[in-house]
Structure 1
């Protein structure tokens, strides 16, 4: 019997169509998506790989960030969920992390504002007393048919949210990161293959790859490891919030697995990079994309 879509066991190349749907804002609200993304693999029990560590996760209220938060909580970490203004999603994530037996702090604001990034770090230290892992995950994207349609305002917002925030948060957190701490950035397959309707977004993801490699070289002598995960197309609120239906309704059909990922399928790569399983891994961009890009 074939597993139904949305189950954690689904691994066959079954094309999935998503219905057209409306999202009132970016980066999107998970609770109104049809179907809902699958954020948690119930078969994933955790083994204490991140016991009593503290992780800051931007965009942790939904999508890949939420899935990472759940996986980290199952591995024993306490979580700081940083999000924009999706309060309902954040509450849902907070509730589940508490059900998993870990503590969760939620902080709403614009990570493109350097002062807010400082506030995130301050509240994390005040609440938990430490930072062990910084996950720079949050992003925005705005589909445009041509570069001529990309306004200065859009360009600045995309770069401010997607890459400037990584600088701001890293600088703010660095004084509290000790040897053995990790920084994990969320890149994208678009950094490698491009995407004609997401020129500015793809450019920020290319910048994230170089930021990751350069920062890893800068911090290696301090015992802090820096890496990135580059997901392929994943069913998150960002997709219907930013893409025309023709692009997300059959997303991933051209990939070998003929579907896009569910967020829980991306999360284990973050667990690997945050844990002692990856002590010899620095400056890498791990591709988790269903075979859409195999590297050079």
Structure 2
């Protein structure tokens, strides 16, 4: 079961009365964001295709009750690589709470690491589907409700790897997330909706409970992956990976009313690497 958010910078009540949908919330950055919003009084709907998201939601709910934060958490299992899955997730949030104030699109991540000429057609399509389509679909699914209520905030999780080694399809997908963020922000500002993004760099995290793809097997595959690690550290002014808490904090800030004059912005969170 998930431990309560342990960061020292929690702002009590910042999300009081707010309903936040967080995708990819079963582990990693998404889990940390959901824990933080729950600790700050929000009603969090965690979405993931892995069933363990229900355990994370129970942990957040128990922590909220124990602390008296006013937060709550429910979980929805859905495949956000399909529009049907994204629609299902948003409908579940609306059925439970009647509105969605915040959407954090966190689904995505490199599946394979290799020079572009080593990607076949199937791998290219799967990378794009994993790291672009969930954000496209879920933005589209939530917009009617946000437009009707005349307010809302969408925070997309992109990446500084739009410039990086051995993951061209992933870079292209995250470049699409950046374009989506800026274009949609312009389009929906008149409806009272903000659209922003963070662009994380390398992030230290526990071993994934559900892996994105197969482990590197050959010495060559391991070398290709190590190139990513080395380039990521070298590109960072701080010469290190960030922590999950260091990634969650700016996402939560951008999702909050404190960021009310920010839209269309993409914030690099990568120790100085601008991508």
Query: TM-score normalised by the shorter chain: which range applies?
Result: 0.7 to 0.9
TM-score normalised by structure 1 residue count: 0.78
Name the counterpart of 1:118.
87
Structure 1 contact 48–76 (Cα < 8 Å) conserved: yes
Cα shift readout 1:175-199 (whole Å, capped 9, x = no counterpart): 11133310010011112xx222111
Task: Choose from 179, 193, 206 the match for 1:210.
Answer: 179
Cα shift readout 1:197-218 (whole Å, capped 9, x = no counterpart): 1110011111111110000000
Over 6 Å off, 4+ runs: 248-251
Q: CA deviation at 1:106?
A: 1.4
Name the counterpart of 2:270.
289
Segments of structure 2 that go 5 or more residues without pairing to the other structure are 66-70, 217-221
- Mapped partners of 1:115, 1:150: distance in 2: 28
Number of corresponding residues: 255
- Mapped partners of 2:229, 2:179: distance in 1: 32
Name the counterpart of 1:95.
58
- Mapped partners of 1:265, 1:257: distance in 2: 13
Which is bigger in relative contact order (C-alpha 8 A, separation at least 6)? 1
Cα shift readout 1:242-284 (whole Å, capped 9, x = no counterpart): 6746358778542333321111111121222111211111100
After TM superposition, list the pairs within 5 Å mapping 1:271-290 onto structure 2.
271-290=252-271
Name the counterpart of 1:69.
34
Q: Which moved more, 1:251-260 or 1:99-108?
A: 251-260
Name the counterpart of 1:220.
189
Name the counterpart of 1:184.
155
Name the counterpart of 2:68.
none
Name the counterpart of 1:259.
240
Task: Choose from 222, 227, 246 the match for 2:226.
Answer: 246
Task: Choose from 34, 43, 62 the match for 1:78.
Answer: 43
Name the counterpart of 2:219.
none
Structure 1 contact 39–264 (Cα < 8 Å) conserved: no
Task: Choose from 225, 229, 233 the match for 2:198.
Answer: 229
Structure 1 residues 179, 269: closer, same or farther in 2, change over 3 A? farther
Name the counterpart of 1:15.
none
Q: CA deviation at 1:116?
A: 1.1
Q: CA deviation at 1:148?
A: 2.4
Cα shift readout 1:83-119 (whole Å, capped 9, x = no counterpart): 122x33x244213311123322212232111111111
- Mapped partners of 1:140, 1:110: distance in 2: 15
- Mapped partners of 1:251, 1:265: distance in 2: 20
Structure 1 contact 39–262 (Cα < 8 Å) conserved: no
TM-score normalised by structure 2 residue count: 0.84
* 3-state SS of 1:234 partner: coil
Structure 2 contact 132–176 (Cα < 8 Å) conserved: yes
Structure 1 residues 217, 154: closer, same or farther in 2, change over 3 A? same
Structure 1 contact 231–289 (Cα < 8 Å) conserved: yes
- Mapped partners of 2:20, 2:120: distance in 1: 35
Structure 1 contact 39–263 (Cα < 8 Å) conserved: no
Structure 1 contact 185–229 (Cα < 8 Å) conserved: yes
